[in-house]
């Protein structure tokens, strides 16, 4: 049955009994958010924001240049209620994660495939300078005498989904928005947010406003431990316990706490030290020994007086996913320098390329997924049922350069139900619906290769939530009709000669945005952090 057919919101302030009335009248349906009074809303807002500030569910405040030693934070944008996700769909997404972990590790190690789809001679790299620049660094290293000296690669992934409930369907099913292979963020803050909703439940029982809000319906989220285990697995595989993990970060990053929680977890649970550097800093501090290929970073000795340089086991990129991060051409050389070393890259350049939207589209072509799941060169890890399950999460996609003008003609015809995506990450790059035809009018023919068309997911209507943002001019919670996006984290360590893939699912994230917003990034300011109530 369609669990997510929701009645229009009852106004704030109606007594709780109104919920039962809605429930009874609508049979299977229910409303979200449940009814609460103004004073209950005020209480929840106070408890939520105070919990967030106390538990590091925070950002650095907006500033042109972040201070070298920050003194204040603001709470991350958040929802007061967890958002409903059907239990079966949540279980499915969790189970799919291991399949996706292995699938993308196979994509990242298929050099011919990546050259063809993303390369500078045949693929996206021909027309997209960013993709081309990354691919060229990779190709240069493959072609040098030493080749790629570190076969192992680490991915910290996030597979993003939305519920798809087209008109007439009797159930909502998860459809994949995209698969992220670089800088997948909000893992640790998402754990804090789930804890915050659990706390609201334990402390207030949400005033008994909904029978769905029970202890058992709020799933545990252990992203911090899960993601740190992935990084620790790479560190262990590198095999030098005194080495450190390098976090490559953006200057003036506001989402530092999401990263710091991983750093603290690595130190506390795995005794692994982390250092953080920007591309600019690395240009001066990174050195790769020409004989051993060991990556060393010179440290600011005033911070760590006993060490002048440290060996790096693993390079974890929280920067480098957008061309804006490469403010000088030399930053691509710095990326190449890191990639040339023995340190395990998270992600390697090929794994970053594997996360391209064009790859996502290519996988939907007939026979491509079959080849990655059942190809002779792979160990038998997949079943025919896995194939059906993976494919069931895909929307229709095609490339704008497919079939001469066909791809573009089809995009014009179906514009109202489409999104066009370039090879970019981080939100704010897509073209939606009525903006598509004028965009196609101006898109040079050769640039079509860089774009894919994707059918829009039809999200369930009528869901709402209370959204709370700090410093946005509004005071307190704002009630809005919303759309939620579920992300499943996972990691994979792979690339060794034996073809083994060590991998795990690693928790989840819910981002919720106002219904009218096409885009969904929290960092880009479109969404709030949320969590799950299973229904």
Provide the annotated active-site residues.
158, 178, 180, 185, 357, 421, 425-426, 511
Distance CA 5, CA 1 (A): 9
Q: Nearest to residue 223, comparing CAs of 184, 177, 190?
A: 190
- Give the angle 196-200-206 at the CA atoms, nearest 5°: 145
Please state whether beta strands 78-79 and 397-399 pair in parallel, antiparallel, or not at all (unpaired). unpaired
Nearer to Mg ion, 36 or 174 (CB): 174
Report which DSSP code applies to 62.
P
Q: Nearest to residue 515, comparing CAs of 526, 523, 525, 524?
A: 526
What the block records as the tokens of 462 is 């009528």
Q: Give min distance, CB of 102 to ligand ADP, in A.
A: 22
Nearer to Mg ion, 32 or 326 (CB): 326
The set of residues, in sequence order, having a beta carbon less than 8 Å from that of 91 and lying 6+ positions away, is none
* Near ligand ADP by CB under 6 A: residue from 106, 318, 421, 504: 421
**Are the C-beta atoms of residues 94 and 488 closer than 8 Å to each other?**
yes
Q: Nearest to residue 192, comparing CAs of 215, 229, 220, 232?
A: 220
* Near Mg ion by CB under 5 A: residue from 180, 399, 423, 465: 180
* Near ligand ADP by CB under 6 A: residue from 23, 280, 333, 519: 519
Binding partner selected for residue 395 from Mg ion, ligand ADP, none, CB under the kind-specific 5 to 8 Å limit: ligand ADP
Q: Build a one-symbol-per-residue string for 133-172: x at contacts with ligand ADP by CB under 6 A, - elsewhere.
A: ---------------------------x------------
Q: Is 395 in the site for ligand ADP (CB under 6 A)?
A: yes
Q: Build a one-symbol-per-residue string for 446-465: x at contacts with ligand ADP by CB under 6 A, - elsewhere.
A: --------x-xx--------
Q: Nearest to residue 495, comparing CAs of 312, 339, 371?
A: 339
Binding partner selected for residue 419 from ligand ADP, Mg ion, none, CB under the kind-specific 5 to 8 Å limit: ligand ADP
What the block records as the tokens of 348 is 């390697």
Distance CA 363, CA 288 (A): 36
Q: Nearest to residue 6, comparing CAs of 23, 34, 31, 28?
A: 31
Residue positions counted in the chain = 535
Q: Give min distance, CB of 57 to Mg ion, in A.
A: 21
Binding partner selected for residue 234 from Mg ion, ligand ADP, none, CB under the kind-specific 5 to 8 Å limit: none
Q: Build a one-symbol-per-residue string for 466-505: x at contacts with ligand ADP by CB under 6 A, - elsewhere.
A: -------------------x--------------------
What the block records as the tokens of 222 is 């252990």
Nearer to ligand ADP, 297 or 395 (CB): 395
Nearer to Mg ion, 430 or 458 (CB): 430
Q: Build a one-symbol-per-residue string for 413-452: x at contacts with Mg ion by CB under 5 A, - elsewhere.
A: ------------x---------------------------
Distance CA 194, CA 530 (A): 7
Distance, CA of 187 to chain centre? 8
Q: Build a one-symbol-per-residue string for 365-404: x at contacts with Mg ion by CB under 5 A, - elsewhere.
A: ----------------------------------------
* Near ligand ADP by CB under 6 A: residue from 148, 154, 177, 463: 177
Nearer to ligand ADP, 160 or 505 (CB): 160
Distance CA 24, CA 176 (A): 33
Distance CA 111, CA 463 (A): 44
Question: Number of helices (H) and strands (E), helices first, in the chain?
Answer: 16, 21
Q: Nearest to residue 51, comparing CAs of 80, 72, 84?
A: 80
Q: Give min distance, CB of 245 to Mg ion, in A.
A: 23
Binding partner selected for residue 120 from ligand ADP, Mg ion, none, CB under the kind-specific 5 to 8 Å limit: none
DSSP 456-483: PP-PPSSBEEEEE-TTSS--SEEEEEEE
* Near ligand ADP by CB under 6 A: residue from 35, 110, 120, 178: 178
Q: Give min distance, CB of 434 to Mg ion, in A.
A: 22
Binding residues (CB under 5 A) for Mg ion: these are 178, 180, 425
Binding residues (CB under 6 A) for ligand ADP: these are 160, 177-178, 395, 419, 421, 424-427, 429-430, 454, 456-457, 485, 518-521
């Amino acid at each position: 049955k369609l669990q997510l057919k929701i009645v229009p919101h009852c106004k704030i302030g109606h007594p709780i009994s109104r919920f039962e009335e809605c429930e009874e009248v609508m049979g299977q349906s229910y409303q979200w958010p449940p009814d609460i009074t103004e004073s209950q809303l005020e209480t929840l807002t106070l408890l939520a924001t105070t919990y967030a500030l106390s538990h590091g569910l925070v950002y650095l405040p907006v500033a042109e240049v972040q201070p070298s030693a920050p003194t204040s934070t603001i709470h991350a944008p958040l929802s007061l209620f967890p958002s409903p996700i059907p239990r079966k769909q949540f279980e499915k997404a969790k189970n799919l994660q291991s399949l996706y972990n292995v699938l993308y590790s196979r994509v990242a190690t298929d050099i011919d495939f990546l050259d063809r789809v993303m390369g500078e001679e045949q693929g996206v790299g021909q027309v997209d300078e960013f993709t081309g620049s990354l691919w060229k660094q990779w190709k240069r290293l493959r072609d040098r005498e030493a080749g790629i000296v570190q076969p192992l690669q680490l991915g910290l992934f996030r597979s993003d989904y939305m519920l798809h409930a087209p008109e007439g369907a009797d159930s909502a099913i998860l459809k994949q928005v995209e698969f992220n292979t670089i800088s997948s963020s909000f893992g640790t803050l998402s754990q804090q947010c789930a804890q915050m909703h659990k706390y609201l439940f334990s402390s207030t029982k949400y005033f008994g406003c909904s029978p769905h809000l029970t202890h058992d319906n709020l799933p545990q989220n252990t992203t911090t431990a899960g993601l740190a285990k992935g990084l620790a697995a790479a560190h262990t595989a590198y095999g030098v316990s005194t080495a450190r993990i390098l976090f490559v970060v953006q200057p003036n990053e506001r989402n530092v706490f999401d990263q710091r929680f991983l750093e603290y977890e690595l130190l506390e649970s795995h005794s692994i030290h982390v250092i953080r550097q920007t591309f600019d800093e690395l240009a001066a501090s990174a050195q790769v020994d020409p004989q051993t290929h060991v990556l060393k970073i010179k440290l600011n000795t005033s911070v760590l007086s006993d060490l002048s340089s440290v060996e790096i086991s693993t390079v974890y990129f929280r920067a480098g996913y957008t061309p804006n991060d490469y403010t000088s051409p030399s930053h691509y050389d710095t990326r190449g320098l890191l990639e040339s070393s023995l340190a395990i890259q998270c992600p390697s350049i090929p794994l970053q390329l594997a996360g391209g939207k064009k790859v996502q589209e290519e996988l939907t072509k007939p026979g491509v997924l079959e080849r990655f799941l059942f190809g002779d060169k792979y160990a038998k890890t997949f079943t025919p049922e896995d194939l059906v399950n993976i494919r069931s999460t895909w929307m229709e996609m095609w490339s704008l350069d497919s079939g001469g003008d066909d791809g573009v003609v089809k995009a014009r015809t179906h514009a109202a139900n489409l999104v066009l995506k370039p090879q970019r990450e981080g939100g704010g790059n897509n073209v939606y619906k009525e903006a598509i035809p004028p965009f196609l009018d101006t898109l040079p023919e050769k640039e079509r290769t860089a774009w894919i068309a994707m059918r829009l997911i039809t999200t369930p209507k009528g869901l709402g939530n209370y959204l709370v943002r700090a410093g946005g001019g509004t005071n307190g919670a704002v009630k809005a009709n919303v759309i939620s996006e579920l992300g499943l984290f996972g990691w994979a360590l792979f690339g060794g000669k034996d073809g083994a893939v060590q991998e795990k699912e690693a928790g989840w994230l819910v981002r919720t945005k106002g219904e009218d917003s096409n885009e969904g990034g929290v960092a880009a300011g479109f969404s709030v952090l949320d969590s799950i109530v299973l229904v």
